[in-house]
Amino acid sequence: MDLIAEITPSLLDGLKTTLLLFLIIVVITIPLGFLIACVRVYAPKWLSWIIQVYIYIMRGTPLLLQLMIVFFGLPLVGITFDRFTAAVFTFTINYAAYYAEIFRGGILSIPKGQFEAIKVLGIGKINGFRKIIIPQVMRVVLPSVGNEVIALVKDTSLIYILGIGELLRAGQIAANTYASLIPYAAVGAIYLIVTGLVTLLLNAIEKKSNY
């Protein structure tokens, strides 16, 4: 018990960084992924092709490698980020690619007839997309988006490689300091609490978007 009291402040400190990165990435990448999906579906072929290559690279290589390249590799060609910016940048381009593919599937799942009905009724393209298509896309993609959001909670631990003091690193340091497994168990419990809360939130959103 004493040990837990002892390590709690440093774990909570790590948790702060973990949550900060998580929130920033969720807020940036979901809209960005949607935008990329729209471009991929509606833009000219050459642009769509560039996006396909980008998505292939992001999904086809480990996120850990991408983090290393951005933080350790890019300085070799003169581009230097501080640790946290490097993490935000890498997670953004990586997760946006996954979301783009999820949203693309969502957009393509809407029957052509819905777009035709919007046209025949003379509803403006932008308004029709915003009020009629997007809500349907959201409903289709929510379970997959939820999967990615939960994966993101855990993936934030990868930034330990950049030496950022997030939750897992805080746990590892404590485990080494006290030669104990308890910090690892505590870290696991904290991840479970966070993902549990995120799951509850996602369920609530899913329920609200039902029609």
Applying CB under 8 A, which residues contact other proteins?
111, 113-114, 116-117, 119-124, 127-128, 131-132, 135-136, 139, 211
- Quote the least distance from Cβ 136 to other proteins, whole Å: 6
- Quote the least distance from Cβ 134 to other proteins, whole Å: 9
**Whole-angstrom Cα distance, residue 60 to residue 46?**
21
In the complex with other proteins, the residue whose CB is nearer, 136 or 172, is 136
In the complex with other proteins, the residue whose CB is nearer, 118 or 153, is 118
- Token digits of residue 173: 């340091």
Residue type, 46: W
Contact 17/80 with Cβ under 8 angstroms?
Answer: no
- Token digits of residue 115: 């777009």
Other beta carbons less than 10 A from residue 153's beta carbon: 21
Secondary structure letter of residue 90 according to DSSP: H
- Quote the least distance from Cβ 209 to other proteins, whole Å: 9
In the complex with other proteins, the residue whose CB is nearer, 82 or 116, is 116
- Quote the least distance from Cβ 106 to other proteins, whole Å: 13
